Structure 1
């Protein structure tokens, strides 16, 4: 019997298939894919679950964002001797006061400037068109005038078709718009309650969740959850703080140079700044457009404001607030933004980076576990011994 087992273990089938970790891993992947295919065949059974997730996801996301913003303040007040519940109520009152102030002061200003921009937009387009034609009359551009006019006509036709199609789709999907507005209203009404209990009992949530795991998995799982929570919280707090600073800088800068719609442009810049690397440049498009309309002097002033804002943000604000907490290469961030934006649209662009940061923590710990358990990795000293010396 022992000889038979020895011959079996020395056979090529045993070495290359039965006792091969790569083959085992591939079989596990194959089984997972087969399970996913089986789930797709009975996906209708999970439709109520997806509808439930769609309803509760927005208030949970809003509560999570405000939790990361307010939790440090609640912890600070608790350390100063104020009971946690009283600290939460105090912060809720402050936030409600800020919201009321914004609705009374900021929202009417934004509405006024937006309506003014919409009413003056045809005149702005005519001004830009006239200035473009003046440039084309220059002898330098005369040879390209026909091609540029053709491209301009095609662009205007494309924009017209887009506006018409958008209007038709908007009218035809009034029911979807009403449903989306209802979901937003429900989310706004329910997320404060979720936020309250998150701030009150959030510290006990992770230890409670890992109680269903085996004892030897609980501590590593808590470590992973804590690191993921730290990455996401640092990113969200940092990005919102930088966005607020960017909005203030642009509002001050545009107000100083006398650019129209300074408040609205600054707030739009702050919101778009939550898109890393691309937000500020996107926010400058309407400002440059208005600078072209106002004349070359105003255009130069807008560019100067942009350069000053980028310098302050890049040299002062971002290093102080964000630092290098995520340790993600800029090229990786751009790739994540492009991929998540293509797959999930605006939500993917906004939440792609924190999800990637959390996933990176999880994959790093899984890879470390695999290195400890696998025979394919060993100590660095042993690895150096296997490398032949240089001749």
Structure 2
């Protein structure tokens, strides 16, 4: 089945669901509470489950004891990482805030220098006029902004409460996922008709493979990307190297677009320091992209998802428009899951429908799963 047909079917399902969105309000309220801890627990499950399996089977350690030990090590590493990185990041952010006025002065000097040239005089006047209008508009709307901020405090507190609940409940969900996760598909299959259980388990296995490959691969690549950018920016003497490098690793979780978004803050800082620093930033970016594209991504990610780059871009644009940042991050694995479901449903329909039978009564052939 072509990628275009799958995308169109997914969009059609979303459109139809939107027409009766009121039916999903209770589900939305439910998932707004339990969705975040389940997603976080799922991510950590795919990261930690191979380690737990290795220790249990290779070293013959009790699974519950293994999970407890892994929990202790992970918590210790997280505490150490936060304790070590937060002061450095905070110091760099404070330095960035203090340096910002000087960056603005440098920008104004560049604009004023261009404004003295006859070619740019009209442009300089328009920029000055726009700046005056923006300042006046900001002054007039300041009270409105303050009221909006005060009114939004309730939603901010609600969000913080949701995050706090997620952080508290997530370890418990993760513990039971690691302990009983392998038995979960067979338990769910009990509610499926007997003759469909085998196919149902195959679908769950394929979905599990798609999600695990994506999560482990993307997080591993993002980790190495953050390290490469941090080392590269430190090597060239770029300010705020650690903060910008970590930001680059996080943005790299967005396929294709993340790499270019990660370059923007480094380019801005390098541009304000000196033209030569900007050149060095671009060199670091070129080296990182070469290593990531030629070595890291093929070695770690491979082609497990079998998704065409054009399909990825379409999914990212659509998911970002509908669900914002969450859609951009989880759009690709969501598409991979939907692709598995739709492909298997289509194959089942193709096998059982008279529309796909040839003259001799045989099926036309299995549906290709390649995009």
Task: Return the TM-score normalized by structure 1.
Answer: 0.81
Q: Does the alignment pair 1:64 with 2:42? A: yes
What are the superposed Cα offsets for residues 159-197 of structure 1, whole Å, 9 maximum, x if unpaired?
Answer: 985995766533320011011001101110110000000
1:7 paired residue number:
none
Give the superposition deviation at 1:39. 7.7
Give the superposition deviation at 1:133. 3.9
Q: Which has the higher Rg, Structure 1 or Structure 2?
A: 1
Check whether the contact 2:115–2:123 (CA below 8 A) recurs between aligned residues. no
Give the superposition deviation at 1:125. 2.0
Task: Give the secondary-structure state (helix, strand or coil) at the position aligned to 1:274.
Answer: coil
**Which residues of 2 match residues 1-391 of structure 1 at below 5 A?**
40=22, 43=23, 47=25, 49-80=27-58, 81-135=60-114, 137=116, 142-147=118-123, 150=126, 154=130, 161=138, 168-378=147-357
Q: Distance in 2 between matches of 1:74 and 1:155?
A: 58
Judged with a 3 Å threshold, the aligned counterparts in structure 2 of structure 1 residues 322 and 214 are, in CA distance, closer, same or farther, namely: same
Give the superposition deviation at 1:132. 3.9
Check whether the contact 1:275–1:349 (CA below 8 A) recurs between aligned residues. yes
Unaligned stretches of 5+ residues in structure 2: 1-11, 365-371
What are the superposed Cα offsets for residues 273-308 of structure 1, whole Å, 9 maximum, x if unpaired?
Answer: 001111121111111111111111101000000000
Q: Distance in 2 between matches of 1:283 and 1:54?
A: 29
Check whether the contact 2:114–2:120 (CA below 8 A) recurs between aligned residues. no
Give the superposition deviation at 1:116. 1.6
Equivalent pairs counted in the alignment come to 346
Q: Distance in 1 between matches of 2:279 and 2:359?
A: 57
RMSD of aligned residue pairs (Cα, Å): 2.8
Task: Give the secondary-structure state (helix, strand or coil) at the position aligned to 2:46.
Answer: helix
Judged with a 3 Å threshold, the aligned counterparts in structure 2 of structure 1 residues 166 and 252 are, in CA distance, closer, same or farther, namely: farther
Check whether the contact 1:234–1:325 (CA below 8 A) recurs between aligned residues. yes
What are the superposed Cα offsets for residues 86-112 of structure 1, whole Å, 9 maximum, x if unpaired?
Answer: 221121111111111112110111111
Check whether the contact 1:288–1:302 (CA below 8 A) recurs between aligned residues. yes
Judged with a 3 Å threshold, the aligned counterparts in structure 2 of structure 1 residues 266 and 199 are, in CA distance, closer, same or farther, namely: same
Judged with a 3 Å threshold, the aligned counterparts in structure 2 of structure 1 residues 280 and 371 are, in CA distance, closer, same or farther, namely: same
Task: Give the secondary-structure state (helix, strand or coil) at the position aligned to 2:67.
Answer: helix
2:7 paired residue number:
none
Judged with a 3 Å threshold, the aligned counterparts in structure 2 of structure 1 residues 74 and 209 are, in CA distance, closer, same or farther, namely: same
Judged with a 3 Å threshold, the aligned counterparts in structure 2 of structure 1 residues 367 and 152 are, in CA distance, closer, same or farther, namely: farther
Check whether the contact 2:114–2:124 (CA below 8 A) recurs between aligned residues. no
Task: Give the secondary-structure state (helix, strand or coil) at the position aligned to 1:376.
Answer: helix
Where relative contact order (Cα < 8 A, 6+ residues apart) is larger, the structure is 2
Q: Distance in 2 between matches of 1:317 and 1:358?
A: 24
Task: Tell me which moved more, 142-151 or 208-217.
Answer: 142-151
Q: Distance in 2 between matches of 1:131 and 1:153?
A: 17
Task: Give the secondary-structure state (helix, strand or coil) at the position aligned to 2:233.
Answer: helix
Q: Distance in 2 between matches of 1:248 and 1:317?
A: 13
Check whether the contact 1:128–1:292 (CA below 8 A) recurs between aligned residues. no
Q: Distance in 2 between matches of 1:225 and 1:122?
A: 55
Give the superposition deviation at 1:352. 0.4
Judged with a 3 Å threshold, the aligned counterparts in structure 2 of structure 1 residues 379 and 98 are, in CA distance, closer, same or farther, namely: farther
